[in-house]
Every structure is written in structure tokens, then in C-alpha cells.
Structure 1
């Protein structure tokens, strides 16, 4: 690398992507520079998927390097390489799964499952391979949100291994695939916890960058089982701005802290109501609670989502908004939240990515 290329490389290393929050050098990004009389080509490899902002990053990096370009064309070759990250007790990674991310809430009714499915689809839209595990054994909702008809069953290999059900390109598993919508699961806690471990470990996931686990609300048996027996790399807590929801969300954050699972961020649902007639904005459930909680617990608000009829209708119809309306403002907010979540995870300590050879049957 010439002295001129080294100067450009050092300047680019100081660039801070919005979703990452630290410089490329601080994040350990791989940067290469090649120059000619007409062009400056930069190859940048980030640790999180970000396909949706490639053109934006190219414009921002060009502006950042403007004084050094001397009128030459700037070309950005952007890549992402998702690494496995250390878990709460450095447990061995699951076969074929690099990172397990728990999606939790302190109470029900805050839009956790809707957020989980849209975050999963958003990560996929950004370029990652993604799975979604519905860990709400007693009230599974993901099959309905993913548009899977009642009676959908996973293929079983060797009488003991589930093949994940494909939904919008996601690899999915849920207790809802093993029962019917009218069949209640009447189990005590230990049996429900055992079902979670079985679904997690006996599903044949295929080379996932991220497996999102949609937890039931609260801080009970299933959450404790996840923390003790599953290698969780990070967690996201869902809340609304309402004081009572925030109180329960704080309990969720404290639970993850006690079991040494890093909270990657908070998603604040129903943050504002926007009148469809006049555009007036009203904070129906309060304002600023998520930001205050994030500051108190050294995390960040990944997104503040509006009280949106579209989000609710699309989820109920089995067509999550990120898949059904990819160009909508709501989908853009989910994709921003997904990039920030993955970027924050990329800054944590790396673990071992275990992708052994899979025997085809």
C-alpha cells in the first residue's frame, strides 16, 4: 500500500457509521484501499448485515474522504461477515447457529412477537441468514403471523430431528406446529422448559447467522432455562412508553443482567400515534421512558415504533409488514433496529462459530 493509499485508509478508519456508533477502526472492520488516476476503491467488511444502507454509506464515506479524493470517483465494495459471539458463560455454540438473540418483554401486550418476526425479516432483508424460534410454549403466535395454516407440521428426520418450517425465507420452529390452534398446552413449568430445549437443540438449523428466540412475557421458568442451557449471545427487550410497561421491562433487563446476558437494546412500541387524517402526533402512552431506561442500563433505544394500524393488520393477516410492505416507513424502522442490534452485537467478544458438516438424508 502506497503512502497516499495509507493516508486514505487511515482517514476512512475514522469514519463512524450511524448504526455502529464507533469508528471502523474501533469496530475492527477490514479496510482495503486501491487507487488509480481516476478512482479510489475501498473494500470494507463489517461485522453485521447492512445491505439496505450501502448507497447511503458510500455517499457518507465519499464526503468523509472528499479532501483526499482530489476529484476522483469513489467506489465502495461493502461486505458483511457475521461472526459468532461469546455467550453468557461461553457455552459451546449450537450446531449451525452463530448467534442466539433473545427477544423478551416484562409483560404481555407490548408487541413482542410482532417485533420479533419483523426483526427477523429485517435482518434477512439486510443480507443475513436468519431463524426464528417461537419459545412461547403456552401461547405460540408466530405460525399465525407467518401465514402458516393450522395443521402445518415440520418434517421429522430419523424420528427425532425437526426440519425447520420455511416462512418468507426464515427457518422457523414453534410449538404451534406441533399442536392445533384449539389445543391448549397444559404443562407445568419444567415440562415447558424441556420443550424449549428440545425445539432448540433438535431442530436442524442450516448455517444461521442469527437465531431470534421469541420468549413468552415475564421472567419465569422458560427465561431461566434459556439463560442456563442455551448459548445466548444477546437480548432485546420490548416495551411501550407506559409507566407500568416500563416497570416490567426493567425487570426483564435486570433478569438478563443477573444471568450475564448483554442487553443489545430496547425497542419502544406504540411510541406515538400519528393521525391518519391530519398528521397530528400524540404520545398516547407517555414519552421518553425508553430513552431514560436505556441510559440507566447502558444500552440504547434501537427504534421507537409508531402505534400503527398497518403493523397490526399485516401481522394478523400472516403478512408481516417488513415482508408485505418492504418500502414502507414502518419496514424502514424495523430494518434500522435490526442493523443497530446486529451492529451492537458485533462489538462484543467473539466466540467460536461451529458449522460442522451436515449429512444429507
Structure 2
């Protein structure tokens, strides 16, 4: 403790220096803590970016699966429509066999009307070719065939669009079997397409679940990044406050050091001025001349009058010793 007290007396700014060292040590500790938070923030950011890259890549996979299931569902709809159209064609053909051709009140489709007209035209043509009729009857048959032909021509585009299976009206039983087989085939394709759509839908559900997981992970890492960044910023704010105090203490130390240096410089200048000789300074030379004129003597090499007295005293002792030596030498010659 005595040593510390002596050091404080020798260095009046010791307390400031101790305070500065303590503050700088705290700032270094805070910087380490801030850097740790910054490192955690960077790691969280890198993890977030990696997860977001996976999410982006996985989203492309999900989009492909969605496009695939849409294509399969379009195929499902196509097979269902074809199956339904063939079944409708089959029902119309069966209705013709059951004798519904002449039912005027029955609602008939274009296909049924088309086939009915074609069958009627074939029957009239066969009658016209194989039997003899009068001019009047022949004219009526020709006009009827013309009207039927025009109507068949009107129905042909619509029938060609929706009639998927060509049937032989002369072999109705065989045509029914063909239509049933075609309808069953389309139904099987329809079922298979539904199964494939279900399989892809299962994959899509799994892909959606993984997508949601990746999104949640990305959000979690992002929140961690923000939290660590916030903590780092808070510590950095403390560092800035501490550095303001540190700079104040440094300024105080600098001012004290400058004051000491200024005092030492002034003191040394004063000492040098006092130690100057007449040859070095005109002011000193003038002072010496004034002293000589006033007192009649000057003293060189000393700072006080006793120095001159002591010098005179030492000079007397020297003369005495020299006289003693001379006496000894003369006595030796007489011998």
C-alpha cells in the first residue's frame, strides 16, 4: 500500500489511468460479447439462406408434381367423357333395336336421329330399286329421300364429332358388343388414371408437408438471426457509450500530460536561462557589467558568495603547503 501511495504521489494521474484501464478492459469484454452475438447472427443467416435455397428447389419439385397431377386429371376427364359418349351411343343403338325409331314424342340425340335417317334412306332406296311404283309415288319417294339427305348432311358434322365408334347398322348385335367393349376399355383407362392421380396427389401432400417444414425452419432461423442481431446492436450501443467515457478520460490524461510537459519545458527553459554566461546572453553580460561597476568584483563559476570564500580558504591552505615544501628542500641542500 505504501508503494501504491508513493506511485500515486509520483504520478498524480494514476487514478485516471486505473479507471481508463478498467474501462478499456470492460470495452474489450463487451466487444467479445458483441462479436459472439454477431457470429451467431451470421450462422443463423447462413442456415436461413441454405434452408431458403432448399425451399426454392423443393418448390420447383412441387410445381412439377402439381403440373403432373393436373395433366392426369385432364386425362381422367377425357376418358370419362369418352366412356360416357360411348355409353350414350350404346343406349341410342339399343333404343333403335327396341323399336323407338318411330316414337315422335321421345327426345332423341343427333346421333340417334342421324342413324335413324340413314336406316330409313337405305330402306327407301331398296324399295325404289326392287319394286315398281307409279310416277306419283316415285316422286314422293324422291322428295322424301332428298329431305332426309339434307337432314343427314346437317347432322353429319355433329355426329362425326361425338360418335367415337363406327357401328354397322346391319349388324346391330355386333355393334352393341363393340360399343360395350369400347366403353369398358375407356372405363378401365379412367380408373387407371384416377389411381395415378391419387398416387401423385399423395406425393404432393408429402411435398407440401416438407415445403411447410422448410418454410418453418427458414422462418425460425430468420427470427434467430434477427434476435442475435438485436443483441449485438444492443451491446454495440453499450460499447459506444463506454467509448465516449473512455475518450473523455483519454482527453483528461492527454491534458494532464501536456500540462506536465509544459511545466517541465518552462522549468528547463528557466534553468537554462539562469545558467547562461555573458557570452551566451547579452542580458547576462549586461547584468555582470552592472555588478562589476557597482561592487567592484565578480565571481565566476559559483552561485553564492560562500563559494568564493571557500575557494579563498582553499587557496590559503595551498600556499601554506607550498611554503612547507620549500622549507624542506632548503634544509636538504644545507646538509
> Under a length normalisation based on structure 1, what TM-score does the superposition of the two structures give?
0.18
Larger % of helix: which? 2
> Under a length normalisation based on structure 2, what TM-score does the superposition of the two structures give?
0.19
